[in-house]
């Protein structure tokens, strides 16, 4: 048995193994419609949010055009009842929405994975303490706390909103990462890394995290989508950034100034559809990634 690996025909297999691993995931990724559609929509909207604001030469909140104008050639998405350009608001709003998703989701991801890895790897009393903390934050009524805290803040910016969303939405990520890390931490190769004199953080980052990288990517995507939804909710009840633009704030002012009653569909449909499409395609993207990484879910 010991000389099987040296037998003819095995040599060429080894050279391509690294490439093969990556290309296998790529092979399934290219053929997965859920992944392609989700990724396409998310990237398309992201590009729109990044590039389009450069072609808008006025402030999105400026009263620039006729009041309550329906979409036409000059104002692609029409204007509000004050004469603000909805297209300008929409593209700036997209930008803010992606920023809050990346920032709020990122803060939650960093805290959640750090807590999860340390709890899962160290175990014992550290695990008990971190788990208790996680459970306490998990049962906090996050939206109520967010409402109370943001209501008391003098200046509300994107940054503060992101930090608060991050600080309240990490617990489930911590629990998910902890359970995975717990099972990986007992593998023999982790013990072997300890015998090689590796430090704890190095073992976590180079032995445990790479084995659950797909899991981490998916956690981040879900946190990203969750942060967008929470931010939209806060904006909608009037606790968004004080003087910014976001899809949630657009919805708030549309409802506040009676766009529904007046039949100004061009005012509330773009932001509402925008949020729905972003979050829905993130979830579709996530299901697609799951199918790519998990062979059991692959469709033939």
Partner 1 sequence: MLELKNVHKVYRVGAFGGGRKRAVRDVSLTVEPGEVVSLIGESGSGKSTLGKMVLGLFRPTEGQILFEGTDITTIKGHAARKEYYRHVQGVFQDPFSSFNPIFKADRVFEMIRSTYYPGVSDADWKDRVLDALGTVRLDPDNVLNKYPHQLSGGQLQRVLIARALLLDIKLLVADEIISMLDASTRIDVLNLLSDLKERGLGILFVTHDLSLGNYVSDKSVILRKGAIAEMGPTARVFENPLHPYSRHLLSCVPQLHRTWAEVDAELAANPPEDVELPVAPDEESAPLVEVEEGHFVGINQG
Binding positions for partner 1, rule: CB under 8 A: 1-6, 10, 13-14, 17-18, 21, 187-189, 191-199, 207, 210-211
Between 30 and 187, name the residue whose CB sits nearer to partner 1. Answer: 187
Minimum CB distance to partner 1, residue 285 (Å): 23
Residue 229: strand, helix, or coil? helix
Between 122 and 198, name the residue whose CB sits nearer to partner 1. Answer: 198
Rounded Cα distance, 289 and 36, in Å: 10
Between 150 and 211, name the residue whose CB sits nearer to partner 1. Answer: 211
Minimum CB distance to partner 1, residue 16 (Å): 11
Minimum CB distance to partner 1, residue 118 (Å): 17
CB 102 within 8 A of CB 224: yes
Q: Which two three-digit tokens encode residue 72?
A: 């036409």
Between 144 and 195, name the residue whose CB sits nearer to partner 1. Answer: 195
Between 17 and 155, name the residue whose CB sits nearer to partner 1. Answer: 17
Minimum CB distance to partner 1, residue 128 (Å): 10
Rounded Cα distance, 142 and 155, in Å: 20
Rounded Cα distance, 181 and 296, in Å: 21
Minimum CB distance to partner 1, residue 62 (Å): 53
Number of helical H runs and strand E runs in the chain: 13, 0
Rounded Cα distance, 221 and 206, in Å: 22
Report H helices in 123-198.
124-139, 142-152, 158-169, 171-184, 188-195
270 CB-near residues (< 8 Å, 6+ apart): 77, 86, 90, 250
Between 9 and 73, name the residue whose CB sits nearer to partner 1. Answer: 9
Minimum CB distance to partner 1, residue 5 (Å): 5
């Amino acid at each position: 048995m010991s000389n099987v690996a040296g037998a003819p025909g095995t040599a060429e297999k080894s050279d391509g193994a690294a490439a093969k691993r990556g290309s296998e995931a790529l092979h399934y990724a290219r053929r997965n419609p859920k992944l392609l559609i989700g990724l396409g929509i998310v990237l398309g909207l992201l590009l729109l949010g990044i590039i389009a604001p450069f072609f808008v030469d006025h402030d999105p909140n400026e009263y620039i055009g006729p009041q309550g104008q329906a979409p036409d050639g000059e104002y692609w998405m029409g204007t509000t009842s004050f004469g603000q350009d909805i297209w300008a608001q929409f593209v700036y709003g997209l930008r803010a929405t992606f920023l809050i998703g990346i920032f709020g989701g990122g803060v939650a991801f960093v805290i959640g994975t750090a807590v999860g890895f340390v709890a899962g790897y160290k175990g014992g009393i550290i695990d008990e303490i971190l788990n208790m903390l996680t459970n306490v934050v998990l049962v906090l009524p996050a939206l109520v706390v967010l409402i109370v805290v943001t209501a008391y803040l003098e200046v509300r910016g994107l940054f503060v909103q992101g930090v608060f969303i991050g600080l309240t939405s990490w617990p489930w990520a911590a629990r998910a990462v902890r359970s995975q890390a717990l099972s990986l931490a007992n593998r023999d190769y982790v013990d072997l890394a300890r015998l090689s004199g590796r430090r704890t953080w190095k073992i976590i980052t180079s032995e445990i995290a790479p084995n659950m990288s797909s899991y981490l990517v998916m956690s981040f995507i879900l946190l990203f989508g969750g942060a967008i939804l929470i931010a939209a909710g806060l904006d909608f009840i009037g606790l968004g950034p004080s003087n910014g633009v976001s899809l949630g704030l657009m919805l708030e002012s549309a409802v506040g100034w009676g766009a529904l009653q007046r039949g100004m569909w061009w005012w509330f449909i773009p932001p509402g559809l925008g949020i729905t499409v972003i979050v829905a395609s993130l979830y579709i993207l996530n299901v697609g990634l799951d199918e790519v990484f998990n062979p059991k879910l692959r469709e033939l």
